[in-house]
Chain A
Amino acid sequence: MSLLHQSPSDHATRWSLVARAVSPEDAGTRAMDELLRIYLPVLQGMLARWPQLDASTKEDLLQSFVQKRILENQLLAKADATKGRFRSFLLKAFQNHIVDEIRKSTGAKYSPGAENLLSYDELAESLGHSAELEKAYHVAWVRNLVEEGSRRLHADCMAKGRNDLWLVFQERLQKPFLEGSAAMPYEELVQRLELSSPSQASNLLISSKRQLRKILEALINETVEDPSEMEAEWDFLKKCLK
């Protein structure tokens, strides 16, 4: 499933998609589907890093969030573009939902009004996990972004008959950085692509980096209100990964 599935020609930002999603029209349903397709895997990615919760609890938390918060309580109508990133709003809402659901399932100890009412952070801590969950959310977001960027790069390379560019990207960037496997030596790339020198392979790598950078910038532009915010968002994403 494509996670950030807007076409490159669709310049809608996340906030304009949110605005459409609250509309009762068909366009609203489509926008809602689009938002869920983009953001649910990110929430899943965060939950996947919470080993103290079993798989069915994670699934229940996600389903109930969509059903109760997003669809029934019209969470998106409460989202305010002037208060920052949509994904930060969604994270906070999901954290609150987790606390509420776990309070309910564990009875009086976490019931509203009880003296020992726990915050999300305390709850996360009490379940044996730290605030790294928030980092997991950001990591899942960036991975989501890079995955879609890779898909678009692949599509571009295939459309232009640039298998060489794609292979170099896969072997020198995707595998080592995203999968933790060894990068293919340049000499091997030279042989496989029938190049005349490692510098040619290196030039292909530079081209693929530039192309992916452009694609990622376009994807990030979809998440900010103004293109001038793109550089700052790029830096913010890097900061989240540190």
Chain B
Amino acid sequence: MSTSSSDSISVPLTDSTRTLREEAKGLLALLNEMDPGEPLWSHEDLESILSHQMEAPLLIDLGSMHGVNAEQVQQLASTRGLVLRSFEDLLTHPHPPVELLIFTKEFAKRNLASPRSPIPAEVARILYFSCISSAMLKCGRKISQLSLTEIGEGIDWCLHRPWLQSEWRELFKNTKGFLEERGEA
């Protein structure tokens, strides 16, 4: 582990390189960061965590889920010549195995429900609706018990996240278009 524990801990009482206004603004922002009611994740955090989650290996996350067999995941991810290593591989593939989308949706749902989940709820929700969108657009399957109207509302929620990366935004826009064609959004 590489750390800088011996780095200076000194904070000069008055930072002459900054104006009073800048100094006050920095201190206020720091105090605001520690307010109990403040959101725990910044937009930057969420964007970064979503990227990391999408790049995470399917086998590890899905294979460790209760009721799911790692071998089954491995088999589905490599069937018919597929090479699906990550969630991103799965969700951006033109013909993803619907079973893997269902497993991933379940993984997201469990993380959404667990207060001890290391994945922020916002990120889990994006993953959840990404699976539903991919299944609907690419497999022609509705893998959720939510109504199309409720799915449309969920997609709108996703599209309103300012930290959402363009590839996922595109997926949700396509889903919204798909639902609009059916008069559901």
A-side residues, CB < 8 A to B, are 3, 41-42, 44-45, 48-49, 132, 135-136, 139-140, 142-144, 146-147, 150-151, 154, 157-158, 163-164, 166-167, 170, 173-174, 176-180, 185-187, 192-194, 197-200, 202-203, 206, 209-210, 212-213, 216, 234, 237-238, 241-242
Q: Which of A44, A192, A199, A212 contacts B119 (CB 8 A)?
A: A199
Q: Which residues of the other chain, B, contact A238 by a CB distance below 8 angstroms?
A: 28, 31-32
Q: Is the interface on chain B under 10, 10 to 19, 20 to 34, or 35 or more residues?
A: 35 or more
Contact A209 B13 (CB under 8 A): no
- Chain A interface, DSSP helix/strand/loop, else mixed: helix
21 CB contacts below 8 A, A to B, read A44-B14, A45-B13, A45-B14, A48-B13, A48-B14, A139-B27, A144-B13, A147-B11, A157-B5, A163-B3, A164-B3, A167-B3, A177-B30, A178-B11, A186-B48, A198-B52, A200-B118, A202-B45, A202-B48, A238-B31, A242-B28
Tell me the bound Cα distance from A111 to B66 in angstroms. 84
Q: Which residues of the other chain, A, contact B17 by a CB distance below 8 angstroms?
A: 180
Q: Which of A49, A200, A237 contacts B14 (CB 8 A)?
A: A49
* Also in contact, A146 and B11, with CB within 8 A (given A177-B29, A197-B49): yes
Tell me the bound Cα distance from A202 to B1 in angstroms. 17
List B47-62 residues whose CB lies under 8 Å from chain A. Answer: 48-49, 51-53, 56
Residue of A202, A209, A234 contacting most chain B CB atoms (<10 Å): A202
Say whether B83 faces chain A, with CB atoms less than 8 Å apart.
no
Contact A167 B23 (CB under 8 A): no
Contact B1 A194 (CB under 8 A): yes
Say whether B166 faces chain A, with CB atoms less than 8 Å apart.
no
- Of the listed stretches B33-41, B96-104, B138-146, chain A binds B33-41
B-side residues, CB < 8 A to A, are 1-5, 7, 9-11, 13-18, 20, 22-34, 36, 40-41, 44-45, 48-49, 51-53, 56, 118-120, 123
Q: Which residues of the other chain, A, contact B10 by a CB distance below 8 angstroms?
A: 147
Query: 10 shortest A-B CB distances, which residue pairs?
Result: A163-B3, A241-B28, A177-B30, A213-B34, A163-B5, A198-B48, A48-B14, A147-B11, A241-B24, A177-B26
Tell me the bound Cα distance from A212 to B10 in angstroms. 16
Tell me the bound Cα distance from A197 to B51 in angstroms. 10
Q: Which residues of the other chain, A, contact B26 by a CB distance below 8 angstroms?
A: 176-180
* Also in contact, A198 and B13, with CB within 8 A (given A173-B33, A178-B26, A192-B2): no
Nearest residue in B to A138 (C-beta to C-beta)?
B24
Q: Which residues of the other chain, A, contact B5 by a CB distance below 8 angstroms?
A: 157-158, 163, 166-167
B112 to nearest A CB, angstroms?
Answer: 14
Known: A170-B7, A186-B45, A199-B119; 5 extra A-B contacts, CB below 8 A, are A49-B14, A135-B24, A180-B26, A192-B2, A199-B120
